[in-house]
Amino acid sequence: MKPNHIFFSRETKERIIKRFFLFCAFISVGVLALILFSLFHGGMPLFETVNIKSFLLGMEWYPTFEPPEFGIFPLIIGSLIVTTISTCIAVPLSILLAVFTAEVAPDYLKNTVKVIIELLAGLPSVVLGFFGMVVIAPILQDSFNLPSGLNIINASLILSIMVVPTIASLSDDALRAVPKEYKEASYALGATRFETIAFVIIPGALSGIFTAIILGMARAIGETMVVLMVAGGAGAIPESIFDSVRPMPASIAAEMGEAPRNGLHYHALFAIGMVLFFITLAFNIVADYVSRRFKEGGSSSL
Amino acid sequence: MNEQPIISVRNVNFYYDSFHALKDISLDFAPNSVTALIGPSGCGKSTLLRLLNRMNDLIDKIRLEGEIIFEGKNIYDPGVDPVEVRKRIGMVFQKPNPFPKTIYKNISYAPKLSGVNNSDELDAVVEQSLRQAVLWDEVKDILNRSAMTLSGGQQQRLCIARALAMKPDIILMDEPTSALDPISTAKIEELIDELKKDYTIIIVTHNMQQAARVSDKTGFFYLGSLIEYDVTKKIFTMPQVKQTEDYITGRFG
């Protein structure tokens, strides 16, 4: 038989294909590197005038005053508090939902619920923000007698709606990945379905569930539109969950348009971006570490 | 062997969807004995084994006709709770499947489910079960280590110990040594011999020497039917049916 490649030998073809994929991989890495470069390039000049400690721990965020104050501690607290509360709301809901779709529901219901979860994941955040402004805010205002319904609890509720699909679908995958053998062993030992779920399946999926939670938190802390619309926007340390806050992404989005290019305020907003970047990076590293460690030792390494 | 059977299968037909997996099976299992079920892959022997403790309930689209009588009662009667059946009839699987928990927690799983919470009592059950499974000496100092760190043979004995811990009457074994090396296999076989003093054992095996070595009675299955069921010696020396002879002499299967 004659070789059917006319222009290139097989080796050359293989090499071209390999190079091509390498090139594609480099493009995405390269883009990421460029973004990071511009982030740091925009943010670092701030620290020529403002020191890092007074930036991170300063209590006053008055970027347009004379002289300006660039303390982002209230913004960090705002971000952390809405993330924490929304996680606390979303985690139990998502895990129950995942157990339902992975283990309990009959097939037809399972598929319906999964479609709904996916729809929820696809909702534009501005729509959810709208919902928070026109539905949840008045309810909060009336039932708790508040001056404004745009506050921590409103933002947390909306964020939790956004995070549930992430945590639920990743947890669902983790629960399904628990080997069938464990389930059989449990049933054969006289365990009921719910004992099996509680003592074998959930513990077996714990690393995946934990990773799902962390990724959900990373999503919540970076979410911009919702917190911009419904968190209220006050750059102060809140005293109750009905106070208004100004999470970091909201600050960036709200002020970027007004900050003179290459001014201090402009650099300060980039620096906030850096802080956000480091927080989500930390979340991802933790998620990666956890899923790796559990993979090696099983849940008994807990 | 003229005692009352501990469990008997009566005119059982079993279907997976439209596939007729077991055809009019009837056989009795004697207490304190080892019964081996042999036959080529897909002949229905594992299906029958899983019917005995209602493990097949976990599969959709199944249908059963006939009765399986355990302690005078059909375990498929509507009023019978499969969970209770499984507590009395333990099972060991083909691939060792310890939970990814500590050795101790693996064994104490079933007793805890039955409401034993006293730690002295649990300690005692764990020790007793591991001793019965001849694993105690190997693991007594590492009870809090993950069961996944044990060798395959040790894991399988752990699974046997785990089943023993719920104090069953019958232990079903589904090719318990097919994933093990010869030395571990020999240990499990010795163990089976020891356990039959206190338990009734029903074992599915692909390994005919194993059936010949460990069992008192043997049933040969082919294409969903029970072809021959008799004392093991007789099956292996003078089978009555040509198919049985062909199978045990290795002419097919």
| Structural domain of B193 | 7-248
CB count in 10 Å sphere of residue A214 = 23
CB-CB: which of A188, A195, A204 is closest to B53?
A188
> What's the number of domains chain B is made of?
1
Do A132 and A173 belong together in one domain? yes
Residue ranges in B75-118 assigned as alpha helix (H): 82-88, 103-113
* Arithmetic mean of pLDDT, B194-216: 94
CB-CB: which of B84, B97, B102 is closest to A300?
B102
> What's the number of domains chain A is made of?
2
Convert the pLDDT of each residue in B30-76 to its tens digit. 999 999 999 998 899 999 999 999 999 888 889 999 999 998 899 99
Cα nearest neighbour of B115 on chain A: A191
CB count in 10 Å sphere of residue B138 = 16
For the purposes of burial, counting CB atoms within 10 Å of the CB of A59, is it exposed (0-12), middle (13-18) or buried (19 or more)?
middle
In this predicted complex, what is the ipTM? 0.91
Convert the pLDDT of each residue in A205-252 to its tens digit. 998 999 999 999 999 999 999 999 999 988 889 999 999 999 999 999
Q: How confident is the model at residue B250 (pLDDT cuts 50, 70, 90)?
A: confident
Do A18 and A64 belong together in one domain? no
Alpha-carbon distance A57 to A237, whole Å? 12
- Is B83's Cβ below 8 Å from some Cβ in A? yes
At B170 the pLDDT is 96
Q: Of A106, A298, A91, whose CA–CA distance to A207 is shortest?
A: A298
Q: Of B40, B20, B178, B167, whose CA–CA distance to B96 is shortest?
A: B178
To the nearest whole Å, the CA of A204 is away from the closest chain B CA by 7
> Is residue B89's pLDDT more than 60?
yes
Convert the pLDDT of each residue in A77-121 to its tens digit. 999 999 999 999 999 999 999 999 999 998 899 989 999 998 998
CB B99 within 8 A of CB A181: no
At B53 the pLDDT is 93
Is B2 within the bounds of a domain? no
CB-CB: which of B100, B102, B113 is closest to A195?
B113
> Is residue A299's pLDDT more than 80?
no
Count Cα neighbours of B5 within 13 Å in the Cβ-side half-sphere: 16
- Is B81's Cβ below 8 Å from some Cβ in A? no
Rounded to the nearest 5 degrees, what angle is found at the Cα of B15, between the Cα atoms of B12 and B20? 90
Q: Indicate which CATH number applies to the domain containing A250.
A: 1.10.3720.10
At A153 the pLDDT is 95
Do A152 and A35 belong together in one domain? no
CB-CB: which of A182, A191, A298 is closest to B113?
A191
* Arithmetic mean of pLDDT, A156-164: 95
Do A83 and A193 belong together in one domain? yes
Do A94 and A195 belong together in one domain? yes
Is B239 within the bounds of a domain? yes
Alpha-carbon distance A186 to A179, whole Å? 12
| Structural domain of A43 | 4-48
Residue ranges in B28-70 assigned as alpha helix (H): 45-52
pTM of the predicted structure, to 2 decimals: 0.84
Cα nearest neighbour of A107 on chain B: B60
What percent of chain A shows pLDDT beyond 90? Answer: 82
* Pick among A193, A300, A302 to test the B interface (most B CBs inside 10 A): A300
Do A111 and A184 belong together in one domain? yes
Is B43 within the bounds of a domain? yes
> Is residue A283's pLDDT more than 80?
yes
CB-CB: which of A190, A299, A301 is closest to B86?
A190
Distances (CA, A) of B234 to A32, A175, B57, B237, B244: 75, 49, 35, 5, 11
Q: Do B95 and A181 touch (CB under 8 A)?
A: yes
Do A168 and A25 belong together in one domain? no
- Is B162's Cβ below 8 Å from some Cβ in A? yes
Q: Across all residues in chain B, what is the average pLDDT?
A: 93
Count Cα neighbours of A235 within 13 Å in the Cβ-side half-sphere: 19
Compute the count of residue pairs across chains A and B with CB atoms less than 8 Å apart: 76
Q: Do B87 and A190 touch (CB under 8 A)?
A: yes
Distances (CA, A) of B235 to A231, B210, B211, B242: 80, 13, 10, 11
> Is residue A2's pLDDT more than 80?
no
Do A127 and A265 belong together in one domain? yes
At B36 the pLDDT is 96
Q: Indicate which CATH number applies to the domain containing B161.
A: 3.40.50.300
> Is residue A295's pLDDT more than 80?
no
> Is residue A302's pLDDT more than 70?
no
